[in-house]
Amino acid sequence: MFNFFNKENNKKIEDPLTKIAALLIHVAKIDENYTEKEKDIIKKAIIELGSKNDVIDNLLVKAEEIEKNSNQILDFTKEIKNMDEDSKEKIVEVLWNIIYSDSSADMYENNLMRRLTGLLYLDVKTVGDIKNKVINNLK
């Protein structure tokens, strides 16, 4: 589990988490097949990041609205790119888990992950290793 935000001030927690959730939703929707399995992965990740169970459904509704009305991913990545390397890598692992929730990655999903790798200032090899770890866990 990972928790990046102070749980004492829920207002401060939910705003960055909503943007992170919007990025996760964007990745889930990139293949035009946003499934319940992907939603469950996103919920679990956002709770591990520090959201409370009683607000997760409202947070996801808000994140879905933000994602729907946005035409760029830069705003979603701002919260993540300032995190430490371990935290970024855990979020990338969640992203790969979302992508491979249907056991495959299409060219749009792979392209998006290449873009995110650069936006989050991550090493390509590290992201590839995380991807391989996720794929191996599917076997």
Q: What per-residue confidence (pLDDT) applies to 94?
A: 97
Q: Give SS3 for 7.
A: coil
Confidence bin at 75 (pLDDT 50/70/90): confident
77 domain residue, yes or no = yes
Spatial distance between the Cα atoms of 131 and 113, rounded to a whole number of angstroms:
10
Domain with 122 in it = 10-138
5 domain residue, yes or no = no
3 domain residue, yes or no = no
Lowest mean pLDDT among 15-19, 36-40, 95-99: 15-19
Q: What per-residue confidence (pLDDT) applies to 88?
A: 94
Domain count, the chain: 1
130 domain residue, yes or no = yes
Is residue 5 over pLDDT 70?
no
Higher pLDDT, 99 or 11: 99
Calculate the average pLDDT of the chain. Answer: 89
What is the identity of the amino acid at 58? Answer: N
Three-state SS string across 69-94, please?
A: HCCCCHHHHHHHHCCCHHHHHHHHHH
Q: What per-residue confidence (pLDDT) applies to 72?
A: 83
2 domain residue, yes or no = no
